[in-house]
Amino acid sequence: MVPPNGGASRKSTFDVLESGMVTPMPGVKRESIDLEDYFAGPRDMDRHSKLPYFMRMHGSVLPRMILPLLWVSCWATLITCISKFVHNLAVNTLLLTVLGFVVGLALSFRSTTAYERYSDGRKAWATLSVQSRNLARYFWVHVDEREDEELGKDDLLGKLTAINLILAFAVSLKHKLRFEPYAHYPDIASLVGHLDTFAKDAYTPEIEEKKRTGFFKKLGNYLGLSFAASNPRKEIKRATRPLGNLPLEILTYLSCYIEEVTANGTLPKPVVLGQMLTSLAALTDTMSAAERVLTTPLPVGYNILIAQIVLLYVYLLPFQLYGALGWITIPGTIAAAYIILGLHAIGNELENPFGNDVNDLPLDYYCEELRRELDILTSQAPASFSEIMGSKGHENKVLWPLSVSGSGDWKKRNIHDIRNALKVKVVITPDRAETADADETTLGSKKEG
């Protein structure tokens, strides 16, 4: 806050974001067509490409295969030239068959485990979405608002706060899975800035002072060079204070809300209370499932062995192809290496489905979708079902397609007529439904019979 005398009191990031100077929840769409954005992820689900898959580069692993393929081409050229002009290095192709079977098994195992992790990550987030919707609906509909104006406003604002915490849980879990442990990020600062959390206390201005990434480091990241990749846990390692567990802390605050509405009598139904606690426990299970996917990769021994098997096979290809192909050994080796190294590369990329690669899960999109759904839920006050049944703005055609009469017209009849109509409705389909007059004639004939 700026002092009255105009002193230059510096605002914290939380103050800046909450004052509206920065958009609290930025959209997930990218309008830039820069090369950096084109190869960055995750993929924008709202965009559609008309190019066939074999022509697309967005999401392709080809950029990170350029250097390996270049090295393979040089190796194949060297072996071919030595075999042509110095000494024939060709060997029997039986080795190609034996090693090919082993490489096929290794790549199949690598691809299967990678996609299994990707699928498990998506299942975990789907469970999070389901339980978040359920919990938000329970809060909005089943927690009463007291008749006293001041208490009623407190109840309404309390429900909105709790529903915002549901969204905050999803967003904080997204950041946690990406090794972003703080609470100053634009999409979550306004949601949890009022909470007392370890992530908030651990924040220092130096955290936002990012070092400039050099050209060669960027190029190395595009080309998939391992020595150019940064340690994803570096923010956690550099922390000088305890970071806590922000998603778990948010769930604790949600438990406090449930405890309060139970104590003040605005949640009178024990059955609904049980459903709320079940959804809250399911969110905890979901967080643990996502963390299991993140922290339990394929054992490093398997990764090392599979990488060695793949490279050994590719480097032995020119020796086995030269006898049958001659100079065609060079393009043949490059084509085979593209297939084998490509499958290996996509397996490595899918191993962590929560990152920022193009092929990773679009967690930003999922969080934005959940935010829109929660806004839709809270856009109208919980309605009385009796008002919905007797709605006059749009006739409630309770017996369509048998009849286009509204519930008000059917309410004027006796129960016997309604039950007879329900029997006739069994054989009526929408394409056979006509006008209300024809329906009335049908019902009249049924009663006479």
**Per-residue pLDDT for the chain (449 aa), expressed as one digit of tens each?**
334 444 433 344 334 334 433 334 444 444 444 555 555 667 776 777 777 777 777 777 888 888 889 999 999 999 999 999 998 888 887 777 888 888 888 888 888 999 999 999 999 999 999 999 999 999 999 999 998 889 999 999 999 999 999 999 999 999 999 998 888 888 999 999 899 999 888 888 777 666 566 666 666 666 666 665 666 677 777 777 888 899 999 999 999 999 999 999 899 889 999 999 999 999 999 999 999 999 988 888 888 999 899 999 999 999 988 888 889 999 999 999 999 998 888 888 888 899 888 888 999 999 999 999 999 999 988 887 877 776 655 678 888 888 888 888 888 889 998 898 888 888 876 666 554 444 454 544 444 44
For residues 64, 65, 68, 70, the Cα torsion angle rounded to the nearest 10 degrees is -110
Give residue 89's pLDDT.
87
Which segments of 315-429 are extended strands (E)?
Answer: none
- What's the DSSP call for residue 28? S
Give 160's contacts (C-beta < 8 A, 6+ positions apart).
378
Give residue 41's pLDDT.
63
Q: How far is CA 101 from CA 98, 108, 309, 313, 341, in A?
A: 5, 11, 11, 11, 16
Other Cβ atoms closer than 10 A to 402: 24
Give residue 91's pLDDT.
84
Q: Do residues 140 and 377 touch, judged by C-beta distance below 8 A?
A: yes
> What are the structure tokens assigned to 171, written together?
């967003």
Phi-psi region of 373 (alpha: psi -120 to 50; beta: other; left: phi over 0): alpha
Which residue type, as a one-letter code, is found at position 330?
I
CA distance 172 to 175: 5
Cα first-last separation, the chain:
82
Give residue 383's pLDDT.
80
Q: How far is CA 427 from CA 29, 307, 421, 423, in A?
A: 49, 65, 11, 8
> 23 by DSSP, 3-state: which?
coil
CA distance 252 to 143: 19
CA distance 341 to 349: 12
Give residue 241's pLDDT.
84
Give 114's contacts (C-beta < 8 A, 6+ positions apart).
298, 346, 347, 348, 349, 350, 351
> What are the structure tokens assigned to 204, written together?
């220092």
Instruction: Classify residue 239 by burial, with Cβ atoms within 10 Å: 0-12, 13-18, 19+.
Output: middle
Please state at what angle helix 363-378 crosses helix 94-137, rounded to 10 degrees.
20
Give residue 20's pLDDT.
39
> What are the structure tokens assigned to 436, written together?
């209300």
CA distance 96 to 100: 6
Give 284's contacts (C-beta < 8 A, 6+ positions apart).
248, 251
Which residue has tokens 């958009």? Answer: 23
Q: Following DSSP, what letter does each residue of 190-240 receive, concatenated?
A: HHHTTS--HHHHT--GGGG-PPPPPHHHHHHHHTT-GGGPPPTTHHHHH-S
CA distance 264 to 397: 40
CA distance 57 to 352: 21
> What are the structure tokens assigned to 133, written together?
């919707």
Q: Following DSSP, what letter does each residue of 252-277 receive, concatenated?
A: HHHHHHHHHHHHTTS---HHHHHHHH
Which segments of 280-338 are extended strands (E)?
Answer: none
